[in-house]
Chains A and B, each alone.
Chain A
Amino acid sequence: MSMTSGFRSQCIPTYRVLTEDQIKEIHSATLEVLEKIGVRILDDTGLQLLKDAGCRVKNENIIQIPNGLVEESIHSAPSCIKIYNRKGNEVMQLGGNNVYFGLGTDLIYTYDLKTGELRPSRLQDVVNAARTGDYLEEIDFVASFALAHDVQTNLMYVECFKASLENSIKPIFFTAAGQEDLSVILEMAATVAGDYDRLREKPFLIHYAEPTSPLSHSKSAVRKLFLCADKGVPINYTPALLAGATGPVTLAGAITVANAEALSGIVLHQLRAKGAPIISGFVATTMDMLTSTAVYAGPELRLTHSACTDLYHYYGLPMWGTAGASDAHCFDQQAAMEAAFSILMGILEGANLIHDVGYLGQGLIGSPATIVMGSEIIGYVKRIRRGFDISRERIGMEVIQQVGPGGNFLLTEQTRRLHRQEHWRPKFMNRDNPDMWKEKGNKTYGERVTQKAIEILESHRPEPLPDPIRGKLDEIIKKARESLAEIKFVV
């Protein structure tokens, strides 16, 4: 195979589920839903904006969006979004097949590292998640992970954001109750960046808000969407639909409806601020028909997730995703199995912003040890994804000849030079021989990873915020304690 034949020597495994024809079929069904059935907009400003753009009101708040407007919005939204860390260094380019992993938000329980007890989450759990995420190189962004029950209710999200900010330099994926606390959070972020212009220029945070399935945009969601659009802060506006409950039971129907919710979000966002950064996509999972719970790690979710990735690659829009999460209530074999399957598929399909690493209990339970395990699975799968080079140089005929039959390759210069590149090495997985394993205390993978998670929390000290900024943040929080105290967040 000569150099001139166009032979590409790097093989990279990828995976997709939809053909181009199938993508177009789903896309056109989505457009049909938006144009003929419409979406419900519960916010007046949003409703007016759509009316002004030529959408038809079907009855009071159901609005039908013409195809052209949807296509225009897909076109005007940026196809690549650069995300920075707290110090202003570019760390993520959300777009194409780039895959980044991070934590999720709002877990009400924590699977305690030391006691194995399932208990309500506290602010310290947010701190712990940020530190764990900050330490692990495979984790690209952090999030609150836990929802702090031990702080003033209206300040939950503000306090969580501050804890993330103080305990990691990585980008922060965050939620808020409403536009009021979101404003406070953005003020904190602008303070860290310098001002709102610098925050817009080098955003180190992504807000996560969502439409409500089926086909509804709440007041609160639209207001958060608009606030981010106005400030040029990247927003992740993505529905989570339950097939058979809040969406059609068929995967094709669920995908179509969820996609209509996501695309109508893009329309609203781009009408408000053309070219503003938005990360889209959707999760369409199943409701378990025996327990009525929302499944976080079922095979159907992986299929719809892959379909979503194919669709948004086709649109040329950055898409969100989920992986490394489990339906198990403790850090066990099920947790490992579901984390591994989902991370494998997430990486091979090339979803951009994959959150939820370390989630247990169907989005209710956080576990730092599960984050550590997830990080190792990510490293493992990224090695698969990297593929291998089959150039003449890498085949290395001279070396094969030089060693010859019966020789050994261990001492070749090639082995020494390339073993680290060619061979990935786990950090926590067992590769010892049986006696060595016994000597080290017969530990299971779960025990080793839990020990590592404890060590990280005991020893890792993230780079602190500069003192003057800490002072300013304290001022903002102090004011917010009063301003947010009596607020009743709209739904």
Chain B
Amino acid sequence: MPLFEDLIENVIQGDEATVKELIHQALKNNVPAKEILHDGLIKAMNIVGEKFKKCEFYVPDVLWAAQAMKAGIEMIRPFFQKSEVAPLAKVIIGTVEGDIHEIGKNLVAMMVEANGFDVIDLGVDVPPEKFVGSVKAHGAKICMMSALLTTTMPTMKKIIEALKQAGLEGKVKTMVGGAPVTKQFAIEIGADGYSPDAPGAVDLAKKWMAG
């Protein structure tokens, strides 16, 4: 269908205005929101992901596509409540207390969001209790924590422990990341997952939701 081809192409190119216009037309013509999401937006982001893996797309290209995708999702979001579309899985993300580095966290947030998740970004310097409170309040399925400073890495362990104490073990998956964070560290602090980069975080989140 040319509509979806057009939509996919414009998401890939990061042309937000055209994406909005196309979705507007589609909704007017009673194209189901579910189809717009799955056959248009998500398909486009999968292509973007492929291009990134093949080094055809760089980070800025992916982010522009992600923004166009996000704008599209916002337009069809009202239909989610009408149970036409299953609600998107919620993800809590933030840079841990004591750390104000956010570029990496933002990158992950945008890419995760662009792949069909509902991302609640808590920002930077986020204390453990705020992570716990937000996971509870939103019924989040995934909690992502970022740290750039080696001195703030131990805070991640505190957050994971606080989530357990709040009885959320098994209900929310924890994922850690940031330049000094390693797989070994993730295992040591009892995190459910770790990714060295943003696309890896997307892959892991998708895997969890599929499983």
Contact = CB atoms under 8 A, between A and B. Distances in A.
A411 B60 CA distance: 7
A416 B197 contact: no
A436 B106 contact: no
A408 interface: yes
Contact of A408 (B61, B67, B103, B200): B103
A434 B197 CA distance: 11
A439 B58 CA distance: 21
Interface string B75-113: 000000000000000000000000000110011000000
A403 to B, nearest CB: 12
A420 interface: yes
A415 B196 contact: no
A419 interface: yes
* Residues of B contacting A: mostly: helix
B58 A408 contact: no
B60 A433 contact: no
B14 A433 contact: no
Nearest to A408: B103
B5 to A, nearest CB: 23
A419 B58 contact: yes
Contacts of B194: 435
Interface string B49-90: 000000000111101100100000000000000000000000
A419 B60 contact: yes
Give the interface residue-count category, chain A. 10 to 19
B18 interface: no
A442 to B, nearest CB: 14
Contacts of A408: 102-103, 106
Contacts of B59: 410
B182 A420 contact: no
Given A410-B59, A436-B196, A416 B64 contact: yes
Nearest to A417: B60
B53 to A, nearest CB: 12
Interface string A407-424: 010110001100110000
A415 B197 contact: no
Contacts of A411: 60, 63-64, 67
Contacts of B102: 408
Contacts of A425: 58
Contacts of A420: 58
B183 interface: yes
B60 A416 contact: yes
Contact of A435 (B61, B107, B182): B182
Nearest to A411: B63
B31 interface: no
Given A415-B60, A419-B60, A410 B183 contact: no
B27 interface: no
Interface in A94-138: none
Nearest to A418: B60
Interface in B155-204: 179, 182-183, 194, 196-197, 200
B107 to A, nearest CB: 7
A18 B46 CA distance: 57
Contacts of B196: 432-436, 439
B179 A410 contact: no
Which of B60, B63, B196, B197 counts the most chain A CB atoms within 10 A?
B60
A266 to B, nearest CB: 47
A433 B199 CA distance: 13
B70 to A, nearest CB: 11
A436 B14 CA distance: 28
Nearest to B66: A411
A425 B67 CA distance: 24
A435 B187 CA distance: 13
A432 B60 CA distance: 17
Nearest to B124: A406
B185 to A, nearest CB: 10
Contact of B63 (A410, A433, A434, A436): A410
21 contacts: A408-B102, A408-B106, A410-B59, A410-B103, A410-B107, A411-B63, A411-B64, A411-B67, A416-B14, A416-B60, A419-B58, A420-B58, A432-B196, A433-B179, A433-B197, A434-B182, A435-B182, A435-B194, A436-B196, A436-B197, A439-B196
Sorted nearest first, the 4 A-B pairs with minimum C-beta distance are A416-B60, A435-B196, A436-B196, A433-B196
Given A411-B60, A416-B60, 8 more contacts: A410-B59, A410-B107, A416-B14, A433-B179, A433-B196, A433-B197, A434-B196, A436-B197
